[in-house]
Amino acid sequence: MPLQLFPALQHIQEPSISGFLSQVPSSFMQAYDKLFVEENVKNGNEEEENFLNRLHTNRQMMLEPIMKFHRRAGTFTTGVEDATKLLKDRSTKVLVSTHQPNLFAYGGIFKKIVLLQTLKDHLADSALKIVNLFVVIDHDFASEHWIRVAQLPNIRSIDGVMQLRLPVVKSSRWQLVCNMPLPSRMVLDHWRHQLYSWIQKSAIFQQRKVKSSDHWENAKLKLISNLESFWNMVEESYDNADTYAEFNSYLMSKIVNRAWQYDTLFIRLTDLSKIFERGYGNLLRNFDNYSKNLKGMEQLFLKEGIPSGVSSSSYLYSTLWLHCNCGSKAATKISNRTALQDNKTSLTLAGHCVGCKKYLRSELMIDVDGAIQCSDSHTLNDFSPRSIPIVLLLSSELGISCYASGTDGMRYILFANTLFKEFSPKNTPVFIVWPARDSYYGFAQSEALRSIQLTNFGNMDGYVGELDQKEKRFQSAITPILNERNQTIRQGKQTARDDILSNLFSLKQEQRMIRSQRKLAEKVENALTLRPSVIDYAINFGLEQTEMHWRNGVLYNDNLNRPNNISSESNFFI
């Protein structure tokens, strides 16, 4: 698993990298065994009472924002209510996944939740008390692509991909997603129209209905019925939400808590600042060590010639963003840091707002335990963590036992993994990632394959290779004819030139046809290698069937990196 995730790192002998990657489970059962064994080891050790009490207090503080979220989302189910009660038990283990509230998020975000729920269900036999928590990272910029764009396969689109887009004016792209207004009703209706048109115009139904009208009409009606069921949740989420972030996160909760009946608890990152207070304070007090670690990791990646995926200047900035009244935020640097006689530390965080460019500053007083006092008009709610320390904070302040990450998120974790010994010495979670792609043929994927007369994407490389060879052969045939044409022009042989031009025209026509087929093949490849929005699953399978396919995939594949083959009536379209 580790080398498949990061093949460029396989030759690096640095223990902080190789040692960490070796601990990442490669299968569901490895994750289960590792979590079960490590939890039992922890249960057998005496934890410091103040550490357990602090975790217990922090978890209690989550209850109000969690219940507020679910009541607003319309997902405060009996299962959710029971899970909130478990947070009051000091022995409860917390499994966590996180993500931004993206527009109609892609399947991988939901697969992390399915993975943790499956782990929780299997660990239930061990008598462990477990809660699954999903943290909505709602403080990122509106300019981030996937926050505003959802993609679906569509061979009729110019590049093989259909996009549902939230229009955002340039001046608003630096707003935080938690401050973005809801899309207009016109935009919501446009998305719905795009989806209905996507199904109705599919060549699958246009070509096949002649052979068996009722058969294919029923297939289309089933897809439309699935879309309508999904869109009912979209409408409910829209009606319940005040902001764009709430709209997207409420929809995620409806899928997870209502369609799947999971008891996963949702909470927004912007509701965790007070809970993270001690973690913020310790990171700021010990910023030199934090910064030194990030700089060292960046230099290691640079030495090996491997892109880290992390900003090369991250080590220069503090661990916190400072929010601005304009709805954006500033990356801050630390200045005027002074150790006082009473073991307190005073410092200033300052930076320019990314949105309005205003210079922001906040003076803080941090005591030896990490408690923070803001000496100006700011409060802890005006701060949010940068990407790298988020999992550190979840570990040190909530005592999480497991963190399910995506492949991109693992880069941040890899960058900061050596910091756990210093900033979360009593707790390092089990990290797990399920990067396997889904292999299935919905109506849009099948339409794409049929456009080049294939029935299986596995034949794509051979098809493209054959087209490339034909292109080379035509080019080889055309080049000498062009030379011959140039020679006849110089010699003034009009009759010979006409024959050559006729032959050249015929070859060029065939070459254009090959190039056209090659471009179509590129569109097909884009459509089939796309990581589509959850909408594609909802329409082709229905949400309940989608959950079953994913759960079976994680349970029965020996390797979490092995493609997850989904075989069902969707293959009916081939």
391-411 pLDDT, tens digit per residue, is 999 999 999 999 999 888 888
Q: In this predicted model, what pLDDT tens digit does every residue of 267-322 receive, in sequence order?
A: 999 999 999 999 999 999 999 999 999 998 888 888 877 777 788 888 999 999 99
Q: Is residue 326 part of a domain?
A: yes
Q: Rounded CA gap, 382 and 320, in Å?
A: 10
Q: Rounded CA gap, 506 and 484, in Å?
A: 16
pLDDT of the residue at 176: 96
pLDDT of the residue at 515: 78
Q: Is residue 312 part of a domain?
A: no
Positive or negative, the CA dihedral 254, 257, 259, 260 is positive
More confident residue, 260 or 38: 260
pLDDT of the residue at 484: 65
Show the tokens assigned to 410. Answer: 């693992």
Percent of the chain with pLDDT over 90: 55
Helices 107-123, 543-556: axis angle to 10 degrees equals 60
Domain range spanning residue 329?
Answer: 320-385
Give the model's confidence band at 7: pLDDT under 50 very low, under 70 low, under 90 confident, else very high: low
pLDDT of the residue at 478: 66
Q: Is residue 33 part of a domain?
A: no
Show the tokens assigned to 435. Answer: 């990067």
Show the tokens assigned to 8. Answer: 């460029």
Q: Rounded CA gap, 296 and 164, in Å?
A: 41
pLDDT of the residue at 44: 46
Of 385, 419, 437, which closes a domain?
A: 385
pLDDT of the residue at 188: 97
- pLDDT above 70 (res 445): yes
Tokens 């399920």 — which residue?
A: 434
Q: Is residue 472 part of a domain?
A: yes
Say which range, 20-34, 163-177, 347-361, has the weakest mean pLDDT: 20-34
How many Cβ atoms are within 10 Å of 539's Cβ, its own excluded? Answer: 28
Helices 213-240, 244-253: axis angle to 10 degrees equals 120
Q: Torsion angle of alpha carbons 202, 189, 529, 140, nearest 10°?
A: 180
- pLDDT above 60 (res 433): yes
Mean pLDDT of 174-201: 96
Mean pLDDT score of the chain, rounded to an integer?
87
Q: Is residue 509 part of a domain?
A: yes
Q: Rounded CA gap, 224 and 222, in Å?
A: 5
First and final CA of the chain: distance in angstroms? 32
How many Cβ atoms are within 10 Å of 176's Cβ, its own excluded? Answer: 24
Residues of 508-525 as b/e, b for ≥16 C-beta within 10 angstroms? eeebeebeebeebbebbb
Q: Is residue 214 part of a domain?
A: no
- pLDDT above 50 (res 570): no
Q: Is residue 61 part of a domain?
A: no
Of 385, 412, 435, which closes a domain?
A: 385
Mean pLDDT of 94-114: 96
pTM of the model: 0.90
What is the DSSP-derived secondary structure letter of residue 401?
S
Percent of the chain with pLDDT over 70: 87
Highest mean pLDDT among 154-158, 249-253, 450-454: 249-253
More confident residue, 359 or 304: 359
pLDDT of the residue at 127: 78
Mean pLDDT of 189-208: 87
- pLDDT above 70 (res 328): yes
Closest by Cα among 572, 569, 525 to 546: 569
For residues 497 and 460, the answer to whether their CB atoms sit within 8 Å is no
Mean pLDDT of 517-525: 86
Which whole-number Å values give the CA distances from 394 to 100, 107, 271, 399, 429, in the listed order?
A: 16, 24, 13, 7, 9
3-state secondary structure 135-182: EECCCCECCCHHHHEEEEECCCCCCCEEEEECCCCHHHCCCEHHHCEC
Q: What is the arrangement of strands in the sheet containing 430-433, beginning at the earlier edge strand?
A: 265-268, 130-136, 93-99, 402-405, 430-433
Q: Is residue 565 part of a domain?
A: no
Total domain count, the chain? 2
Say which range, 99-113, 370-384, 451-465, has the weakest mean pLDDT: 451-465
- pLDDT above 60 (res 459): yes
For residues 377 and 325, the answer to whether their CB atoms sit within 8 Å is no
How many Cβ atoms are within 10 Å of 342's Cβ, its own excluded? Answer: 7
Of 334, 369, 385, which closes a domain?
A: 385
pLDDT of the residue at 489: 63
More confident residue, 509 or 64: 64
Q: In this predicted model, what pLDDT tens digit does every residue of 461-471 receive, in sequence order?
A: 777 777 777 77
Q: In this predicted model, what pLDDT tens digit does every residue of 478-508 receive, in sequence order?
A: 677 667 666 666 656 555 556 666 666 666 6
